[in-house]
Structure 1
């Protein structure tokens, strides 16, 4: 898929959207700080006379194409925020903002959705319904999807589609899978209260560090002994803070980390057992423990019929569709899927590093591929939803 093909099919040029992506890459903004990004997106949409809708969002933008013919409403979503990472690439268009970088490819997602908006606008009179375009803030903090829903921007939408770039897939390859694709991502903060003492007389106190060590070990048994071998879960303790001196047993130890699951029932089982383990171990050591959960997004869970539609579109576009390995990373697109059917796919970008790496890059040849894929996916989804009387395809 070349820019010339996009021009012949939709009357748009690939080069514009590559330049949009590079501009966004140079000026990254963190979650809920995407004010200039939002203004830029608005400007690019208005250049093509694309309707920008008025929803109460501080950052992010909602637009629409279509509606000239009766039919269903579907949504396409891209995330727009960056990460607090110092870029370490040698790109001519590397980030100009110290300590901030599009290290997860959201600039790619945004540029591709703007290109899709342009392509759909060129076919607006033929669209059998309406396509709502969601440029979502704050994905990296797992807050943006809820903000969009609370604004009312999902009302009336019958199906939603989105993507994430995938560095380990070749350009021209699309990862499409029904069912679980990305994990629920919950965080935890555990406080263990003991009794401090001199390190030379530990019997005079209740050591929270020893207790914490046993809690960490016991937590690993949840996955090995409570989760079926046909299911999966990850519990990772990533921080342990306690004490201020080499010869003092402290009063408190604090653990933090994350739990990743792909099934909602497994998720609830793991969270319940986690709290039970903390309570049981701390009690056994004469200390006390409390657990505070940092609720993340649920698992991305793709609708089977929408996944089939995605495979059909990939075949028609000459792309290679593969069933991807599910990712244990979290993605708040899943929040939309709690309300309506959705399909989230992986778009091959042949990157040199994984997501969130300071040297993260991607192949921009995937931009026109993404534009064509999502344009045709939107058109076919409208037809199928309309043919089904508004029911899910």
Structure 2
């Protein structure tokens, strides 16, 4: 039996190891579905510690296991980075121009890697199996669907994921039942008119007028159709039409995103957006083409598993708060359509927002997060 000092020394050594792996990952970011070197790095660490790697058909990312038999509990980390040029000035800043771990996936990967090593060190004590997913392409999004399509999670009892939060102090755990992040959809609308000289608008159909009318009307979708206490939004983020000052063009493009926290509001917002676009086009004698790109649904934390995540954090003497909701998207929600579980926020110190070139995390949160995830997986086996 290990002495207390041996345990402490082991944790200190693991903390140092995790810091080294975190800095390597931060220096070597790779974009969605291009995570070849990241996958190799994670694989090499797992193999060196005797962790089983499953034969799962994915080009990037991997799935590993610790323990034996049922029940099977899953942990998930996302491994991809963003096309952003880093501006943190960190000594271990990105060495890949135009690429950065600006959303903390390097932290997620390292923390889950640490949890895996902790579980492996006590594998004989586990009363079941922990299946660990190092998922590609969360930012694409859609990497979760790639994992699900392999069938490797069909027998999982519960699944847990995490996201670092620059809104929470380091080592604070944010937990809530139900929706934590929003459904995310993207739309592209093309108003098709008839081009003409700007001096003779009566000879054409102006798609810019259609686009302007739609952009104004779209702001009423949430304000006049969604229950005021519900969260939802329609954001127009890209408008494009014409190429010179004296020609009314043939077409105008309007692109944007919709967000909501419930399936009912997601459906309502889409229906109203289509109705407005088609109505505006008809009123002006134009035509309209609409392309809709459905992203992940809202996350949906199972109440019982959220409670367990909270109890485990408290037992680990971590600060627990109600997770601040966000209309950002998270493809962990695809897992939650068929697998119960919980998605939690982990405070990594106050910082610039995710997806900002100055975003950073406090590596001091790595070891406590790894220990928390390992303990949560063990407790979930007995729940």
Regarding TM over 0.5, the answer is yes
1:91 match = 90
Using the alignment, how far apart are the partners of 1:185 and 1:351 within structure 2?
Answer: 26
CA contact (8 A) 2:323 2:344 kept: no
Please give the per-residue CA displacement for 1:114-170, whole angstroms capped at 9, x wherever unaligned.
100000001111111000000000000111000000111212111100100001100
CA contact (8 A) 2:189 2:254 kept: yes
Using the alignment, how far apart are the partners of 2:312 and 2:368 within structure 1?
Answer: 12
Q: CA deviation at 1:351?
A: 3.6
Range 4-13 or range 146-155, more displaced? 4-13
Q: CA deviation at 1:171?
A: 1.1
Alignment coverage as a number of residue pairs: 379
The reply to whether residue 292 of structure 1 matches residue 263 of structure 2 is no
1:305 match = 304
1:390 match = none
Gaps of 5+ in 1: 385-393
CA contact (8 A) 2:165 2:347 kept: yes
CA contact (8 A) 1:66 1:127 kept: yes
Q: Residue 142 of structure 1 aligns to a residue in which SS?
A: coil
Please give the per-residue CA displacement for 1:269-319, whole angstroms capped at 9, x wherever unaligned.
111111111101110011111211111100011110001001100110001
1:45 match = 46
Runs of 4+ displaced beyond 6 Å: none
2:25 match = 24
Q: Residue 182 of structure 1 aligns to a residue in which SS?
A: coil
Please give the per-residue CA displacement for 1:53-99, whole angstroms capped at 9, x wherever unaligned.
000000001000000xx430010000000000111111111111111
1:64 match = 65
What is the Cα-based RMSD across aligned positions, in Å? 1.3
Q: Residue 300 of structure 1 aligns to a residue in which SS?
A: coil
1:262 match = 261
Using the alignment, how far apart are the partners of 2:322 and 2:201 within structure 1?
Answer: 55
2:110 match = 111
CA contact (8 A) 1:7 1:13 kept: no
1:319 match = 318
1:54 match = 55
Q: CA deviation at 1:369?
A: 1.2
Please give the per-residue CA displacement for 1:182-208, whole angstroms capped at 9, x wherever unaligned.
011110000100011110111111100
2:145 match = 146
CA contact (8 A) 1:6 1:12 kept: no
Using the alignment, how far apart are the partners of 1:232 and 1:6 within structure 2?
Answer: 46
Using the alignment, how far apart are the partners of 1:12 and 1:46 within structure 2?
Answer: 18
CA contact (8 A) 1:61 1:134 kept: yes
Using the alignment, how far apart are the partners of 2:281 and 2:172 within structure 1?
Answer: 50
Q: CA deviation at 1:8?
A: 5.5
Using the alignment, how far apart are the partners of 1:98 and 1:106 within structure 2?
Answer: 18
Using the alignment, how far apart are the partners of 2:7 and 2:303 within structure 1?
Answer: 29
Q: CA deviation at 1:231?
A: 1.2
2:201 match = 202
CA contact (8 A) 1:75 1:133 kept: yes
Q: CA deviation at 1:9?
A: 7.3
Please give the per-residue CA displacement for 1:241-294, whole angstroms capped at 9, x wherever unaligned.
100110000000011110011101110111111111110111001111121111
Matches within 5 A, 1:1-393: 7=8, 13-67=14-68, 70-384=69-383
Q: CA deviation at 1:47?
A: 1.1
CA contact (8 A) 1:38 1:59 kept: yes
Q: CA deviation at 1:5?
A: 9.4
Using the alignment, how far apart are the partners of 2:240 and 2:215 within structure 1?
Answer: 13
CA contact (8 A) 1:6 1:372 kept: no
Q: CA deviation at 1:7?
A: 4.0
CA contact (8 A) 1:26 1:93 kept: yes
CA contact (8 A) 1:6 1:14 kept: no
TM-score by length of 1: 0.94
